[in-house]
Structure 1
Amino acid sequence: MGLILCLFVLLVLSGTTLQAASTTTPDIDVFVRAGCPHCEAAKIFLDELRREQPSLHIALHDIAEDPAARQRLITLVQERGITTVGVPTFLIGTELIIGFQSSETTGAEIRAKLDRKVLGATVNPSIESIETRWLGRLRVHDLGLPLFTVLIGLLDGFNPCAMWVLLFLLSLLVNLQDRRKMALIAGTFVTVSGLFYFAFMAAWLNMFLLIGLSRAVQMGLGG
């Protein structure tokens, strides 16, 4: 009788353990499709990742064989405003990575997201704050995004060269003692400066757009 009772308890405990294991949320959900070469490369990387982290729980879902997995992938993509569904797709926490290039590129991104998930952080705190000499540490959470943006813009706009030019201009304007001439000179300075910076930024933008259209540059960057 005692032996039967012990066996019954063991069966109950093992069933509870299996049920708990089956409901464990995977660390990575991977959506793949049979015959996809990028998916095969991703599987090789995932095998390597499993060897490095034996406790890592990775769930593979073949969207060609599992309609529920295919629908789940479509829902995940649509919720994030992504128009193109591709495989392999990696779901790490709430973040999606679509496609796989290599262990050095996509693999590094997957590792980084796993590290952030383990640490319980979805963003890097240093991105939301900046250390300044006079104002101390400025945080988006404390100041709010508009005020934080204004302060960062003021700090970035403090240019010693421009300040000396402005001081020289102000010294000239003070001696004029004619408001119309002062407004004319100051307005000309501001207008010319604005046009110059606009032309400078437009030139850089056009150059980057031209580089982006070059197939040779794209191939050189691995595109």
Structure 2
Amino acid sequence: MSALSIKNLTKNFGLAEVICGVDLEVEKGEVHAVIGPNGAGKSTFFNLLSGAFPSSGGEIRLNGERIDGLTPEKIQQRGLSRSFQVSNVFVNLSVFENLRCACFKTAGSGYVFWRPASKIKAANERAEEVLEMIGLQALRDVPAGALPYASQRALEIGMTIACGAEVVILDEPTAGMSNTETAQAISLIRQVAQGRTLMIVEHDMGVVFELADRISVLVYGKIVATGTPEEIRNDPRVKEAYLGEEAA
């Protein structure tokens, strides 16, 4: 059984069809990258998978169960979580408090005003684990809004996995980073991928070819090719549609 099974997925905005009958199988435990030129529909595709947009047709199955039509919260409870292109953290809360917020659901706790968050043992323990994984222990008490950009992205990835998701979607995780920051992000993503299924949208081809087990190329709302990094490098349709000289 695939981690994600997508059949004839479509999305229309009025008369414009942005996602045009996408079929894709994402295997359990793989890192699967989705690439394509600007305007290809990559963000819309991820919004459909995470429930941010309702689909116009087709179906999405997570571990065999349909999730199309569910809210983002329900989809996350089923085991799929995502990050966004723009950092999405609570800027006035500390790094640790951000992580703890992301742990409440898996700790069996909601937001109850009469119970201090510091007393929710399972959430605190899980937040400590994730804090160590993303390497931000030294910044644990720093407000998230005061973090350097790369650290904010690392925190967001930490919040994405803190809920215990089996399938994680990362939307341009290295966008805007320096070479040094990108190398650190790649190391973190490799660590996050252990025991999970990852899907990433990324414009940096070096990152894609270094991380991905398989790559799908989305052009004008359609998957034109899926294969290993080497197969995608050498696919003439991909060279023509997207990679150009970078594939050489």
**Normalization by structure 1: what TM-score?**
0.24
**In proportion to residue count, which structure has more helix?**
1
Greater relative contact order (Cα < 8 A, sep 6+): 2
**In proportion to residue count, which structure has more strand?**
2
**Normalization by structure 2: what TM-score?**
0.22
